[in-house]
Amino acid sequence: MTAPIGLVERLTREIVGTIRTQNLQPGQTLPSAKALAERFEVTVPTVREALRRLEATGSVELKHGSGTYVREAINRRILDNPHYVPVDLAAAIELLDARIAIEPGIAELAASVQGDSAVETMETAVDNALQLHTEVPAGHFHVELAKASGNRALHEMLVSLLAIHSRTQQAARFTYDRLRDHDEHADILDAIKRGDGLEASHRTRKHLESIKAAVLADWSEQSAADSSESTTTEGTEQ
C-alpha cells in the first residue's frame, strides 16, 4: 500500500531538513530507515519511499546493505530529468540555441570576476577539447566557465542543460574539429584573463554558432548519404 502523497512529501522535506541541520556533506551517511521512521513517527516503508524520491533527484544514494549516502545534488536548485533522451537534430539545435542565449553572458560575468582558482581550472579544462570523450560535470570547459561566473544558478543551469542533452552533446564533440575547439576555448579564456567581458562574450557566441553550423552541415551530409543509400537499395530490389 502506497503512503498518502502529502505524507511522503512532508517526510521528504523533513529528511532534507535533517541533512541540513546535521550539516551532512556528500559522501556522509543518513540515519537508518528505522531510525528515521522512529524520529518522524512513520512506517519504515514510508521512509523508504521518501528516500527513493530523493534518490531520483540525485540528492541521496541508497546502497543495499550499506546505508543511505548524501550526494552532491542535495545542494543543487536546478535538476535535469534523467529519463529524457533526445537523439535527433531538433534536440541538438535546441541545446545549442539555449547555450547561445545564455553562455555569452556567462563568459562576460566570468571576465568581471576573474577568480584565480577558477582561471587555473579553466586553463586545465581547455585541454579537454582535444579529448573525444569527456564527462560533463568535471573538467568540461564550458561547465568550468559557468562556475567561474560566480553565479551558482547559471552554473547549475548549464550542467543540467548539458546532462539532459548528453547524447547530442557528445555527437557535437565528434562533429567539431578538436584542435579548433581547443583554440577557441583558449581565445575565450584569454579574453577572460584580460577582463574583457565584451570580447569574451563575443568569442563565446561565435564559438557556439560555429559548432551549430558544423552540426547542421554534418546532419545534412548524413541525411543525403542515407537518402542515397535508400534509393540505391530500392533500385536493387526492383
> Where in the sequence of the chain do the CATH 1.10.10.10 domains occur?
5-75
Q: What is the pLDDT, as a whole number, of residue 81?
A: 62
Predicted confidence (pLDDT) at residue 189 exceeds the cutoff of 50:
yes
Q: Are 20 and 59 in contact (CB under 8 A)?
A: no
How many Cβ atoms sit within 10 Å of the Cβ of residue 138?
11
Of the candidates 14, 75, 74, the one whose C-alpha atom is nearest the C-alpha of residue 46 is 14
Q: Cα–Cα distance between 140 and 118 in angstroms, integer?
A: 13
Task: Please state the rounded mean pLDDT for residues 19-34.
Answer: 92
Q: What is the mean pLDDT of the chain?
A: 82
| Cβ-count burial 66-87 (b if 16+ within 10 Å, e if not) | eebbbbebbebeebbeeeeeee
How many Cβ atoms sit within 10 Å of the Cβ of residue 53?
16
Q: What is the pLDDT, as a whole number, of residue 6?
A: 87
pLDDT tens digits, one per residue of 211-236: 888 888 877 766 665 555 555 555 55
DSSP E strand boundaries for the chain: 60-63, 67-70
For residue 64, give the C-alpha cell: 543495499
**Spacing of C-alpha 58 from chain mean position:** 13
Q: How many CA atoms lie within 13 A of 202 on its CB side?
A: 6
**Spacing of C-alpha 50 from chain mean position:** 25
Q: Cα–Cα distance between 111 and 182 in angstroms, integer?
A: 19
Question: Which homologous superfamily is 89-229 in?
Answer: GntR ligand-binding domain-like (1.20.120.530)
* CATH no., domain 5-75: 1.10.10.10
For residue 83, give the C-alpha cell: 529519463
Q: What is the pLDDT, as a whole number, of residue 225?
A: 58
> Where in the sequence of the chain do the CATH 1.20.120.530 domains occur?
89-229
Q: What is the pTM of this model?
A: 0.66
Burial class of 214 by CB neighbour count within 10 A (0 to 12, 13 to 18, 19+): middle
**Spacing of C-alpha 186 from chain mean position:** 22
Q: Cα–Cα distance between 109 and 92 in angstroms, integer?
A: 26
Q: Are 155 and 147 in contact (CB under 8 A)?
A: yes
pLDDT tens digits, one per residue of 39-87: 999 999 999 999 998 988 888 999 988 899 998 878 777 666 666 665 6
Q: Cα–Cα distance between 82 and 164 in angstroms, integer?
A: 7
In percent, the amount of the chain with pLDDT more than 90 equals 42
Q: What is the pLDDT, as a whole number, of residue 199?
A: 98
Q: Cα–Cα distance between 220 and 175 in angstroms, integer?
A: 12
Q: Are 33 and 54 in contact (CB under 8 A)?
A: no
Confidence label for 29 from pLDDT (cuts 50, 70 and 90) = very high
Q: Cα–Cα distance between 166 and 94 in angstroms, integer?
A: 13
